Structure 1
Amino acid sequence: MEIKNSGEGLKRELSSSRLSMIAMGMAIGTGLFLGSGLAIGTAGPSVLLSYTLGALVVLLLMGCLAEMTVAHPTSGSFGTIADLYLHPMVGFLVRYSYWIAQVLAIGVEISAIAVYMKYWYPGVPGITWIIIFTAVLIYVNATSVNAFASFEYWFSMIKVSAIIGFILLGAYVLFGTSSYENVGAHNLIDHKGFLPFGFKGMWIAVFISLFSFIGTELVAVTAGEAKEPDVAVPKALKATVFRLSAFYVVTLAIMLMIVPWQSAGIEKSPFVRVMEILNIPGASGIMNFIVLTAALSSMNGMLYASSRTLFSLSQEKFAPAVMGKLSKKGVPTTALIVSTIGIILAAVVNALLPGSSYAFMMGISMFGSLFTWLIIFISHLFFRKKWDKLGGRKLPVRMMGFPYLTILGGLLLLSLIITAWFTDFKIMLQFGIPWLLFLSLAYFVMKKKQHVK
C-alpha cells in the first residue's frame, strides 16, 4: 500500500550514522545535564528504575515508529500515518501540535542560550546573542540538509563525549582509587533506602524521564531525506534508544554513588557537584559550555523538525502553499523562516505573562510531544492490521509482540500523561487540552473553506 509522499522534492542524503547522531543530539539536552537533579529529588536512588521504565516506553514507541516509517518514509511521518490509518483530523492535530511544540521550544532554547553567553560576556545584551545564533542556525538549515546534519553531528559528538568522559571519571573515582571517601554503591541505600519516596516518587520520576527522551522521534521526520530509509531508519532508531538508555542509567548510577541523592538536586547540576568533588578546575565553565552546546543542538534540530512539519502541512493544503516551496538546494526555506516565530512568541508571551510565560510555553511544548507519541502507538494498532489486510509489501522491520506490546506501550504512556494532572506538571494538560480543542475547531473551519472552494 502506497501513499502520496509528502516529502516529494526533498533530497535523500542522510545516512544511518547521521540519523543516529541527530536523534541522540535531540534527546541529550539540558534535561540530563541540568534537569536530572529534579528526577533524583523526586525519586531518590529509585530514579534508576524510573529511567529504565521510561526507556522501555520509548523502546516500544520506536519499534512501532520504525515499522511505520519504513512503510511510509515521508517528511510528514507520524502525521501522514495518522492521517491515513486513523483520520485526517488526527493527522492535522498531530502535525500542528508537533509543529507548535518545536516552535515554542525554539523560543525557550534561544532564551536559554542568551543566558548561557552572559557567563562569559555579562556586559553584552542578550538580544545580541539571540540575533547572532538565530541567523547562524537559519543559515545552516537553509544551506542544505547535509549542512544541518554536519552541524548536528558535531554538536551531538560534543555532548556524547562529555557523557563518556563523565562515566570514565566516575568509574575511576569508584573503582580506580581510594582517595575519595564516602563513595560507592552504599549511597544507593544508605539514606532512607532505595525507595525513599515509595512507588509514587519512582512513578512520577518516570514521567520526568520521558522528557529526556523527547527528540528521538525526529528520526522519523528525517525519513523523507534518508538515503536508504528501509535500512537507515530502523537502525538509527534502535541504536539511539539503546545508547540513550545506557547513557542515562549508567550516568545516573555513577552520579548517585558519588554524590548522596539528597544533595544531587540542590542549587546546581549534579554534574557540577561531581566535578567539584573531583577538584576539576573550571567545573562551572565546562558545564556552561556543554549546556550551551546542548541548547544549540536542540535548537538546530527543532528548526529542522518544525520546517519539515510545516512543509508537510502545506502539501496537505493545511498551511499556505508557499510553505511547501523548496529552494534550489531542496530546503523549504519559507517554512524554515516562519518556524522561527517561536522566538517572537517567546518575547510576546513573556510580556503578556511575565510570571508564567515559561510554564505556558513549556506546557504546550511538552504536551505536543507526548500527544504525538500517544498517537504513534494508536496509529500502529490500525496500521499493522490494514497493511496486512491490503497486502502491503513485506517490511524489513516489524514490531515484535503485536498487538500486546503496542497496547502496553500506549497504556503506560497514557497513564504517565494522566499522572501529570496530580503533579507540578499539571500545567501541561491545562494548556494542552484547550490547545487540542482550538485545533479541532480550526480543522473544521479549514475543511469547510476547502469544501466551499
Structure 2
Amino acid sequence: MDSTTGSATEVGTTGTGLRRQLTRRQVTMIGLGGAIGTGLFLGSSLAISQAGPATVLAYLACALVALVIAWALAEMVVQHPDAGAFGAIAHRYLGPWAGFVVRWTYWTIQVIAVGGELIAAGIYTQFWWPQLPLWLPVVAFSVLILAVNAGAVGLFGTFEYWFSMIKVTAIVVFILLALALVTVGLPNAQPTGFDNLVAHGGFLPNGWTGLYLAMVFALFSFIGTEVVSVTAAESENPERDIPRAARQMVLRLSLFYLLAIALVLTVVPWTTVAQSSGVSESPFVTVFGAAGIPFAALVMNFVVLTAALSSANTNLYLCTRMLHSLAGHGYAPRWTARLSKGGVPRNALLLSAAGLLVATVLSAAQGNAAYLVLFGLSIFGALAVWILILVTHLAFRRTRAAAGLPLPKVRLRGAPVTGIAAILFLVAILVSTAFIDDLAVAWWAGVPFFIVLSAIYFAIGRKPHRRSSAQPERR
C-alpha cells in the first residue's frame, strides 16, 4: 500500500475506535439531511428577494460548484477514509496549521448552524402557535437531537435516514402538486401558467447585480454536501459507498432545488415570496397558501420543521466527529477523544452542544433576527472551508503526481481547472457578502476569528508532545 492510502485497522472499526456501522443508504440520506434544511425551505426567500425569477440561475451555478466539491472530496476520502475527513486530509497535505484551522473553523460554523436550524424550527412551530415564545421549542428540540446523537452511530443513521426520507418525499410531492397547479390547476385554484417568471419587473428584476448578490444565499442551500466525506470513518465500505453517495446526493439536490425553486417562482409572484425574506415563514408554505390549500400548507410546514431538525441533527454529528479528530491530533482537550461503549464521542458531543445554548440565548434575546445573525457568522467560515478543501485537493493531486502515482479511479474530472474555477467563484461570493447589509457581520466576525485561530495554533498547536494520529480512549 502506498503512503497516500489509509485503511481501517479491523473490520467494523477504524483506527480511532469509531464503528463502521453506516450503510450506503444511510450515508446518502445523511448527506441529504445535512444539506436540505433551512437553506432551501427558509433561506430561499432571501435569494429570491435579491434576484427574483433569476434565482434559478443562482441555484444552477451553485449546484455545479457543489458537484466539484463533492467529487474532489470523494477522490481524496477514498484514499484516506480517516476520522476528520477533509480536516485530517488538509493536515496531511497542507500541514498542521491547515488541519487545525479547517477543523476548528468547521466545528465552529456547524455549532452555529445547529443553532440556526433550531431557531428556524422554532419559527416553523410558531406557524401553528404564534404566541409561543421562540425559546421554548428551541430548548425542546435541543434535548431531542442531543438524545439521538448520544446513541450508537447505527441508531443515528437509522433516525436520520427516515427523517431525510420525509423531506425528500415531501419535496417530490410538492413538485408534483406545483406542476399540476402551473399546468392544469387544482380544484381550488386556476392554472397559473408561466407569467410570473417574466412579470413584476422581468426575469432579472434587479439586474445582474441582484443575481450576483443572490449567489451567497443559494450556495448556503448546498453547504452540508461535505457531510458525506465525514461519514467515511464510520461507513461500512467507504471505497464503494462514498463516491456513490456523493454522486447521488448532489444530483438529487440539484434536481430538487432547481425544480422546487423554479416552481415556487412560477406559482407565486417573486415579490410575494420576497415579502417573507424576513424568515417569518417558508416560501413553500406561501405557495400552498396562495393555491388555496390550507391543509397542505399545514402538512408542508410540518415537513420543513422535520427538515430543520434533520439538518440540525446531522450538523451536531459533524461537530462531534470534527472535535474527536482534533483531539486525536492533540488540538482539542484529550477528554473529547474518549468514546462510549457504543463508540460515540459523547464528551465531544457535550462540548458541541454549546451551540444549542447559543441558539437558546439568541432566540430569547433577538427573536427571528437571530437567524440572520447566525447566518452571517457562519457563511464566512463555510466559504473559507470550501476554498481550503479545493486547495487541499490541488495539493493532493500535486503530491501524487510528484510521487508518480496514477490518478484514482474516483476523481474530479477536469482538475485542476475545475477546482481553480470553483475557488475563484467562491472567492467572488465571499466578496459579495460585504455588499449585503444583513451579512456585514460575516467580515467583521470572520476575519478576526481566523486571526485569533491562527494565533492560538502558533501559540499552543506546534508543541512537540502533540500526538500525530488519533487514538481511541475509553471510559
* Greater alpha carbon shift after TM alignment, 384-393 vs 400-409: 384-393
Pairing 1:344-363 to 2, within 5 Å after superposition: 344-347=357-360, 358-363=371-376
Residue 150 of structure 1 corresponds to 158
Contact 1:74-1:223 within 8 A present in 2 as well: yes
Q: Secondary structure at the match of 2:141?
A: helix
- Cα deviation, residue 177, structure 1: 4.1
Query: Which residue in the other structure is 1:175 paired with?
Result: 183
Q: Which moved more, 1:27-36 or 1:328-337?
A: 27-36
State which drifts further: 236-245 or 254-263. 254-263
Which residue of the other structure, out of 409, 417, 422, is the alignment partner of 1:404?
A: 417
Shift in Å, 1:118? 4.8
Q: Which residue of 2 aligns with 1:103?
A: 111
One-letter code of the match for 1:322? W
How far apart, CA to CA, are the structure 1 residues paired with 2:365 and 2:298?
A: 34
Task: Write the letter of the residue equivalent to 1:47.
Answer: T
Report the equivalent of 2:33: 25
User: Which residues in structure 2 correspond to 1:10-409 (within 5 Å)?
Assistant: 10-120=18-128, 129-177=137-185, 180-181=189-190, 183-267=192-276, 268-347=281-360, 358-392=371-405, 395-409=408-422
Cα distance in structure 1, aligned partners of 2:50 and 2:206: 7
Cα distance in 1 for residues equivalent to 2:38 and 2:368: 22
Aligned residue for 1:282, secondary structure, equals helix
Structure 1's 218 and 391: CA in aligned 2 closer, same or farther, altered over 3 A? Answer: same
Residue 373 (structure 1) shift: 0.4
* Residue number among 436, 442, 446 corresponding to 2:456 in the alignment: 442
Structure 2 distance, partners of 1:312, 1:412, is: 29
Give the direction of change, closer, same or farther, for the CA distance of 1:393–1:8 in structure 2 (3 Å limit). Answer: farther
1-structure distance, mates of 2:23, 2:465? 41
TM-score normalized with structure 2 length: 0.88
2: CA distance between counterparts of 1:330 and 1:451?
26
Deviation at 1:265, TM superposition (A): 2.1
Question: How far, CA to CA, are the matches of 1:321 and 1:327 in structure 2?
Answer: 14
Asked if 1:415 corresponds to 2:428, the answer is: yes
Confirm or deny: 8 A CA contact 1:94 1:372 kept in the other structure: yes
354-363 or 93-102: bigger deviation: 354-363
How many angstroms apart in 2 are the aligned matches of 1:440 and 1:100? 14
Alignment partners' CA distance in 2, 1:244 and 1:149: 19
Identify the range of structure 1 (357-366 vs 239-248) with the bigger mean alpha-carbon deviation: 357-366
Shift of residue 391 of structure 1? Answer: 4.5
Q: Does the 8 Å CA contact 2:109/2:378 hold for their aligned counterparts?
A: yes
Structure 1 351/286 Cα, relative in aligned 2: closer, same or farther at 3 Å? closer
- Per the TM alignment, residue 196 of structure 1 is displaced from its structure 2 partner at its CA by 1.4
Q: In structure 1, how many angstroms separate the alpha carbons of the residues matched to 2:307 and 2:144?
A: 16
CA distance in 2, matches of 1:189, 1:357: 33
Amino acid at match of 1:84: R
Q: CA deviation at 1:143?
A: 1.6
CA deviations 1:41-98 (Å, max 9, x no partner) are 2111111111101111111111211101111111211111111111210111110000
SS of the equivalent of 2:431 reads: helix
Are 1:230 and 1:396, in contact at CA under 8 Å, matched by a contact in 2? no
Cross-structure match for 2:473? none
Deviations, residues 361-387 of structure 1 (Å, cap 9, x unaligned): 333322222211010111111101102
CA contact (8 A) 1:363 1:432 kept: no
The answer as to whether partners of 2:78 and 2:238 remain within 8 angstroms in 1 is: yes
Shift of 1:287: 3.5
| 375-384 or 136-145, larger mean C-alpha shift | 136-145
Q: How far apart are the structure 2 equivalents of 1:2 and 1:323?
A: 27
Alpha-carbon distance between aligned partners in 2 of 1:65 and 1:452, rounded to the nearest angstrom = 27
Return the offset for 1:31: 2.3
Over 3 Å counting, the alpha-carbon distance change for 1:72 and 1:154 in structure 2 is same
Distance 2:363 2:52 in 1: 34
How has the CA–CA distance of structure 1 residues 422 and 277 changed in structure 2, closer, same or farther, with 3 Å as cutoff? Answer: closer
Provide the C-alpha distance between the structure 2 equivalents of 1:177 and 1:353, rounded to a whole number of angstroms.
41
How far apart are the structure 1 equivalents of 2:121 and 2:21? Answer: 30
Question: Which of 410, 426, 431 in structure 1 is aligned with 2:440?
Answer: 426
Alpha-carbon offset, residue 301 of structure 1 = 0.5
| Aligned-pair CA distance for 1:390 | 2.3
Give per-residue Cα distances to partners, 1:223-245, cap 9 Å, x unaligned. Answer: 11111111111111111111111
RMSD of Structure 2 on Structure 1 (CA): 2.6
Contact 1:37–1:269 (CA under 8 A) maintained in structure 2: yes
Give, in whole Å, the separation in 1 of the partners of 2:191 and 2:129: 38
CA distance in 1, matches of 2:99, 2:466: 22
Total equivalences in the alignment: 453
Q: Write the letter of the residue equivalent to 2:112.
A: L
- CA drift of 1:330 comes to 1.0
Code of the aligned partner of 2:40 = L
* Aligned residue identity for 1:214: I
Distance 1:417 1:124, change over 3 A: closer
1:317 alignment partner AA:
G
The gaps in structure 1 that reach 5 residues or longer are none
Aligned equivalents of 1:255, 1:452: Cα separation in 2? 52
Instruction: Determine the C-alpha separation between the residues in 2 that align with 1:356 and 1:126.
Output: 12
CA positional deviation for 1:100: 0.8
Between the aligned partners of 1:349 and 1:118, the Cα distance in structure 2 is 17
SS of residue matched to 1:319: coil
Distance in structure 2 (CA, Å) of the matches to 1:195 and 1:120: 35
Q: Cα gap change, 1:124/1:17 in structure 2, threshold over 3 Å: closer, same or farther?
A: same
Distance 1:343 1:46 in 2: 35
Shift of residue 134 of structure 1? 2.8
Give the CA deviation at 1:279: 2.0
Q: What's the TM-score, normalizing by structure 1?
A: 0.92
Task: Kindly provide the amino acid, as one letter, of the partner of residue 192 in structure 1.
Answer: G
Cα shift readout 1:269-298 (whole Å, capped 9, x = no counterpart): 322232123321334532431232122101
Within 2, Cα distance between the matches of 1:29 and 1:357? 17
- TM-aligned CA distance change 1:194 to 1:121, over 3 Å: closer
